[in-house]
């Protein structure tokens, strides 16, 4: 029997493909309401994840994460 990947596993796989991720994308793709918490989990596991500020088309500022 195979195990379903966790949100953290799915987020890491997404980042490992060279893609960035915002909280809205994480909610849409993985059902993750707390991306910052999952990023913190990955950082605690030793992953070097960068955070940059991103301005949306509506003028809102959100964080965008990517692997370094």
Give the tens place of pLDDT for each residue, 41-51.
Answer: 999 999 999 99
Nearest to 8 by CA among 55, 43, 50: 43
Could you tell me which residue, 4 or 16, shows the higher pLDDT?
16
Residue 57 has pLDDT above 90, yes or no: no
Tokens of 49: 């994840």
Question: What's this model's pTM, rounded to 2 decimal places?
Answer: 0.87
Q: In CATH, which of 1.20.1260.10, 3.40.50.360, 1.20.120.1200, 1.10.10.10 is domain 7-67?
A: 1.10.10.10
Does residue 61 sit in helix, strand or coil? strand
| pLDDT tier, 54 (very low <50, low <70, confident <90, very high otherwise) | confident
Residue 10 has pLDDT above 90, yes or no: yes
Alpha-carbon gap, residue 65 to 51, rounded angstroms: 5
């Amino acid at each position: 029997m195979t195990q379903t990947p966790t949100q953290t596993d799915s987020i890491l796989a997404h980042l490992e493909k060279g893609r960035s991720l915002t909280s809205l994308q994480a909610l849409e793709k993985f059902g993750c309401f707390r991306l910052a918490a999952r990023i913190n989990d990955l950082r605690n596991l030793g992953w070097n994840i960068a955070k940059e500020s991103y301005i949306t088309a509506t003028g809102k500022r959100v964080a965008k994460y990517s692997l370094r």
